[in-house]
Structure 1
Amino acid sequence: MSARDTTDDTLAPLIVAGGARPRDQRDLMERPFFSLAKSRRVAPIRYQAGEVEVWVQGLPDFGMATIWDADVLIWAGSQIVEAADRGLATSRRLRFLPYQLLTATGRATGATEYRLLKAALRRLQSTVIATTLRNGEHWRRHQFSWINEWTELSGPGGRSLGLEIVLPDWFYRGVLDRALVLSIDPAYFQLTGGIERWLYRVARKHAGRQPGGWRFEIAHLHAKSGSLARQSDFALDLRRLVARQSLPGYRLLLSREARREILHILPLVSTIELAAPVDGLVTSGASPLVTSGVNASGDQAQHAQLTLWPDGEIAAPNFDSNQESNLKRPPLRSRR
């Protein structure tokens, strides 16, 4: 049976039966759709780059959906893609056991985690997004919430039968378009910092596995993040990440060009499933590296990290979708 695009909520839900490799939706990976803070955020996000506009507002009672809440969307999108790959009918309506989501995103399964999951669903439902991304033929701006509705299911005697959620059409159509979906490393779910998680998603979308990686001016990254932190504090957080080198599959370097501070994102050499040998990491060609201002040096050598990306899951360089980068440059070529 071929995959069907089923947007009618009266159809049977997609019953989640097994695991799926984590995949993320490109439009969500680099723009400020989520709060990066663990504390409640009520200040709206307003972002514009060219014709792309993003406006996000959370209800004061619950606050804006956070980047940790976005794990629900990553997991749900991964299930839809997996079902489509297997030729199954897909739906915006998903039925699942909380245990499946919690274990797949690297979380414990105690009563506290179940309570936190329900709080995340409330924030996802109460957060309102308006964007011009992927605007249709007859509309300019689309407004929606991350979850249209969610239900706790119960059986005889009050026995829990799990949860059911209904995703917005904007998100659903985005994950059905395979050009808009990228695999991510499962180690992403172990990242604990908001900026750290956001930066990994930016790295995965822009740098991918391109030998030359990608580079951003710090001020540009600050604007793209939607963070409420001052730019100086945001830059300090990035320097700490450079010192820790905690992004799975990537190495971070800092340099200065005149008065601009530049963050370089370089993919690490994969240790599994390589189609051919590579020459290793190269520098960006920028001016000499500078230290990060913290205990460890910003250009300190790091040990290679494993990556779990299947080679066939990662497509060609991402230049066609990275028009908003202010420092775009072609990747360096590896020697034959």
Structure 2
Amino acid sequence: MRAPRRPRLSGERRRLSPFVVTGAGGEVRPRDQRDLMERPFFSLAKTKRLTPIHYESGGVQVHVQGFPEHGMATIWDADILIWAASRIVDAENAGLQTSRFLRFTPYQLLTAIGRQTGARDYRLLKGALARLQSTVIRTTIRHGEHWRRHQFSWIGEWEEMTTAGGRVEGMEFVLPEWFYRGVLDRSLVLTIDPAYFRLKGGIERWLYRVARKHAGRQPQGWCFDIPHLHAKSGSLAKPTDFACDIRRIAARQSLPGYRLRIERVDHVEMLRILPASYPQFPVDNCVNGIGTSGVGNVDGIGTSGVRLSGLRACQGQLSLWSDERNPSRNLSNLKDSNMVEARRAVDNPRPDADMVPHSRNRRGPEGGGE
């Protein structure tokens, strides 16, 4: 019996050779595009967003518009673009011919980005593709000599191939030229930690991409003031709510490969991002085990001007006098109550501070995201 014929291609697919994705999804290291990591191209909320994003800095403009039917593409939808960039770079490294026209199975994509493969996940995938296609971006990034603005959608067109019973057997879509050129330029692509796909919050995911882009493996890390981060994110959250979210993330230390520290400089709240110098914990668990935002911990990470007593507010007894109900670790932190000593404690972490309270230990090896 003759196999069913594939329908005639339309649009850009008629003139592009398909890049057929082969192999399992998890065997390729995920890679992200620098421009997408640095600027606000996606909604950080899971609810439908119709309010446009307009960001301008250093002469570069980004304008993102979603349409009422589907809303703006979210940072979770961007996982599809990360997957596409990863497959293209991997194929180019192997000397294979690539194209903006990708042909693949949904199973390959979903497993590579840490999703399930049930019927609901296939429906969510089609919703993500619809949002990527309906989102319109106008930007001056990487404009040509005589061109000032580029307009495109994240996906030009997409199609699914199904059986008579409705089972999805294959998919294909076309990426915009702007994105494809940025992927082929190796200087514009960074490897990211696979644990990124397990991050739950939109701001948390966005902050990891900012950390990977700006801090990288630099020992001194990178420092942002919180108001600048708020503007850079394109978030619709109030500045105060956004600052609380940043403090919570800093308290959890949930970004793979990085540690965060809240600082204050001339009454301005700052976030310092440093490569992690200690073993990484799974992103699904809180490193510090506390849910309060803006409260300092034993290592001096995530402090936001809150007194040390806030850490033990829920314990049975809080006292400055030693007894069996107050662990020695709580008392040993009294010497770090001033800002200078607290910063020194963070810059020179002591893995066994209870046993040798005044010793200076060597720094651990710096971590990286490559």
Please, what TM-score do these two structures have when normalized by structure 2? 0.72
Aligned length: 289
Q: Secondary structure at the match of 1:21?
A: coil
1:79-126 Cα deviation digits (max 9, x unpaired): 111110010001000011111111111111101110000000000000
1:249 is aligned to 2:257: yes
Structure 2 equivalent of residue 139 of structure 1:
147
Separation in 2 of the partners of 1:249 and 1:43?
33
> 1:16 is matched with which residue?
21
Q: Of residues 182, 185, 203 in structure 2, which corresponds to 1:177?
A: 185
Residue in structure 1 matched with residue 303 of structure 2 by the alignment: 290
The one of 112, 121, 131 equivalent to 2:120 is 112
Give how far 1:10 is off: 2.1
**Aligned equivalents of 2:350 and 2:196: distance in 1?**
18
Q: How do 1:144-155 and structure 2 match up within 5 A?
A: 144-154=152-162
Distance 1:85 1:9, change over 3 A: farther
Q: Is the 8 A contact 1:186 1:308 kept in 2?
A: no
Q: Which residue of 2 aligns with 1:69?
A: 77
Whether contact under 8 Å (2:55, 2:234) holds in the other structure is yes
Alignment of 1:74-113 (within 5 A): 74-113=82-121
Alignment of 1:1-336 (within 5 A): 10-18=15-23, 19=25, 20-154=28-162, 160-269=168-277, 290-291=303-304, 309=369, 314=370
Deviation at 1:306, TM superposition (A): 11
Cα distance 1:257–1:124, how it changes in 2: closer, same or farther (>3 A)? same
Distance (whole Å) between structure 1 residues aligned to residue 15 and residue 71 of structure 2: 30
Q: For the Cα contact (< 8 Å) 1:245–1:302, is it kept in 2?
A: no
In 1, Cα distance between the equivalents of 2:105 and 2:216? 32
Q: Displacement of 1:268 after TM fit?
A: 1.1
Shift of 1:158: 6.4
| Identity percentage of aligned residues | 64
TM-score, normalised on structure 1? 0.80
- Per-residue deviation, 1:132: 0.3
RMSD between aligned residues: 2.8
Aligned mates of 2:311, 2:65 — CA distance in 1: 38
Name the structure, 1 or 2, with higher relative contact order (CA <8 Å, separation 6+). 1
Contact 1:271 1:306 in 2 (8 A): no
Give the Cα separation in 1 of the matches to 2:225 and 2:197: 26
Displacement of 1:290: 3.4
Secondary structure at the residue paired with 1:121?
Answer: helix
For the residue of structure 2 that corresponds to 1:90, the secondary structure is coil
SS of alignment partner, residue 91 of structure 1: coil
Contact 1:185–1:307 (Cα < 8 Å) also in 2? no
Cα distance change on mapping 1:307 and 1:139 into 2, 3 Å: same
Give the aligned residue type for 1:232.
Answer: T
* 1:283-310 CA distance string (max 9 Å, x none): xxxxx9833769769988799999785x
Structure 2 stretches lacking a partner, 5+ long:
1-11, 281-300, 313-341, 352-363
